[in-house]
Amino acid sequence: MSNTLHSPTGLEAQSGGALQGIKVVDLTRVLGGPYCTMILADHGATVIKVEPPRGDETRDWGPPFREDGESAYFQGVNRNKRSIGLDLATEEGKSVLSRLLESADVLIENFKPGTLEKWGLGYDDVLSKTYPRLIHCRVTGFGSTGPLGGFPGYDAVIQAMSGMLSVNGSPDSGPVRVGTPMVDMGTGLNAAIAILMAIVERSRSNRGQFLDITLYDSAVALLHPQGNNYLMSGKAPTITGNAHPNIYPYDTFKCMDKEIFLAVGNNGQWAKLAEALGASELANDPRFKDNRNRSENRVAVKQELETRLKLFKCDDLATNLLEKGVPAGPVNSIPEVMEHPHTLHRQMKVSDGNGYNALGVQAKLSRTPGSARRPPPFYGEDTRAILSEAGYGDEEINHLIDNGTALIHRKS
């Protein structure tokens, strides 16, 4: 496999990235933590992915798999990282981890709360004293304290427990899981934001700190506007399908060939929509004079619009509406999105030309852009190099590999 990546438009990294010089020891697995560390790695941080003897289990989450056995799931959130296999259940493994932390800026892990403490590597008692500038980020389901403290957490379960699932779906379907793992990925984003805030603060205090990031907190924080609507009104939110609970028309509507999403947030956009549909009289209809009236008369709004929308092809109408300043877009499939000219223009698809294809870098920085420089690592492919850089000699490295403390191949 080539060790360089490129976008279909030939984007190349112009710098080492905004986080060049930051070293992250990544003990996370599955999604939330790895998504966080990929963001950091995309922007230049050196991320050492420390994998247990059996590896990150998402390497086996498929199909689809590449010909070399790597899963799309794992490949999607682990680029730009280096991999070392390490058995942290052994004293020598913990010693190696301690050596890696000597030069690290960030430690991120998603073990069950209390695991590092059990290993003699708790933040308060050991890490904060031994490595005072270290930022320790812990990603868990519920945190370590409280009624649910210490329990395991998974995206769909947290969607259900947090109320997110209760407001997703339609009256016909009932509660439905959000199709993409928004809790895991939102938690990964929160972890990345917290790490960056801690790095900025450290530049003033010269001290690290502990970051407590949970799936539960992240999910509850995402309950906008429904959560805030409830806190103000005292009324439990109901499932509204694709429609917005506060704005209308903010929903899917049927065109001649497929569905369009309209997001009309003010009276000016409503008037422009009516004009584009050849129905200017709708702008003057007292039932629809403002958002409050349109929200209260949703059935009538939908009937009036779909009667006219069925005369238009979706893509053409959406473009016309966008040109007029009306937020609108076709309901596209994933294949349509991946081949869309704007996806390619924004370099949101990357490839190494040898079978690795993935989503691009979402945050665009002008002077220090992020980049997809290196495909996700094979298990343990950097074990020897990482140990050498940590100061281990060849004989010591061979000893660690021979006794199973460090690994270059996954255990079955």
Domains and CATH numbers, the chain: 23-223+346-407 (3.40.50.10540), 259-330 (3.30.1540.10)
Rounded Cα gap, residues 4 and 301, in angstroms: 52
> Does a cis peptide bond (omega within 30 degrees of 0) precede residue 181?
no
**Per-residue confidence (pLDDT) for residue 240, from 0 to 100:** 86
Rounded Cα gap, residues 136 and 254, in angstroms: 50
Structure tokens at 108: 């991120």
Contact 104, 24 (CB under 8 A): yes
**Per-residue confidence (pLDDT) for residue 5, from 0 to 100:** 54
Structure tokens at 171: 């009256």
DSSP secondary structure letters along 165-230:
GGGSEETTTEE---SS-HHHHHHHHHHHHHHHHHHHHHHHH----EEEEEHHHHHHHT-TTHHHHH
Q: How far is CA 229 from CA 162, 234, 246, 345, in A?
A: 15, 8, 9, 38
Contact 249, 241 (CB under 8 A): no
Rounded Cα gap, residues 226 and 166, in angstroms: 10
Is 42 an active-site residue?
no
Total residue length of the chain: 412
Q: Which of 184, 170, 243 is nearest to 214 (CA)?
A: 184
Q: How many CB atoms lie within 10 A of CB 266?
A: 11
For residue 251, the cross-strand partners are 262
Contact 163, 232 (CB under 8 A): no
pTM of the model: 0.92
Phi then psi for 34, rounded to 5 degrees? -60, -35
For each of the chain's 412 residues, which pLDDT tens digit applies?
344 454 443 334 446 999 999 999 999 999 999 999 999 999 999 999 999 999 999 999 999 999 889 999 999 999 999 999 999 999 999 999 999 999 999 999 999 999 999 999 999 999 999 999 999 999 999 999 999 999 999 999 999 999 999 999 999 999 999 999 999 999 999 999 999 999 999 999 999 999 999 999 999 999 999 999 999 999 999 898 999 989 999 999 999 999 999 999 999 999 999 999 999 999 999 999 999 999 999 999 999 999 999 999 999 999 999 999 999 999 999 999 999 999 999 999 998 888 889 999 999 999 999 999 999 999 999 999 999 999 999 999 999 999 999 999 999 8
The active-site residue, picked from 56, 184, 352, 382, is: 184
Segments of 326-403 assigned E as strands: 328-330, 349-351, 357-359
State whether residue 110 is helix, strand or coil: coil
